[in-house]
């Protein structure tokens, strides 16, 4: 019974975090049985994107990217296990949309930010895997 109680408390924590991230309303996010079928969240604006990633309004581009990486490390294994229609996969999609929106806002004219590890005069590294 201790395991069941622990699972219920974890489910409650996830339900609270999802409600905090996506807002409360008529959304079916998490029920007492587990993950719901759909998550419908309002469209993202800059403030909503910052809230979805859990950063404040003064966050730099590096802070935004680190927040996205933290969310990805946390939710990717569950999304991989449960499939593309899971709540974790939808949360990752929303986090990626938030990251892309904030990159557009924080980078002027769609330019690229210099990497802190390399000097600005060096050429950019090639990606190990191509973006799709």
> Does residue 46 surpass a pLDDT of 80?
yes
* Domain assignment of residue 122, yes or no: no
The residue to which tokens 């946390």 are assigned: 74
Identify the domain containing residue 54 by its residue range. Answer: 37-110
pLDDT at 62: 92
* Domain assignment of residue 47, yes or no: yes
Q: What is the pLDDT of residues 78-119, one digit of tens each?
A: 888 888 888 888 888 999 999 999 988 888 755 565 555 545
Q: What is the CATH number of the domain that holds 60?
A: 1.10.287
Gap between the Cα atoms of 114 and 121, Å rounded: 9
Residue 84 structure tokens: 């593309």
> Does residue 37 surpass a pLDDT of 90?
no
* Domain assignment of residue 78, yes or no: yes
Gap between the Cα atoms of 26 and 84, Å rounded: 22
b/e 55-65 (16+ beta carbons within 10 angstroms → b): beeebeeebbb
């Amino acid at each position: 019974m201790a395991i069941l109680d622990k699972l219920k408390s974890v489910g409650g924590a996830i339900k609270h975090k999802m409600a905090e991230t996506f807002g409360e309303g008529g959304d079916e996010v998490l029920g007492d049985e587990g993950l719901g079928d759909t998550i419908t969240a309002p469209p993202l604006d800059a403030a909503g994107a910052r809230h979805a990633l859990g950063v404040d309004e003064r966050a730099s581009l590096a802070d935004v990217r680190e927040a996205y990486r933290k969310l990805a490390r946390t939710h990717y294994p569950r999304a991989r296990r449960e499939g593309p229609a899971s709540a974790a996969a939808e949360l990752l999609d929303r986090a990626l949309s938030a990251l892309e929106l904030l990159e557009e806002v924080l980078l002027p004219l769609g330019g690229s930010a210099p990497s802190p590890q390399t000097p600005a005069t060096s050429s950019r590294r090639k990606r190990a895997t191509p973006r799709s």
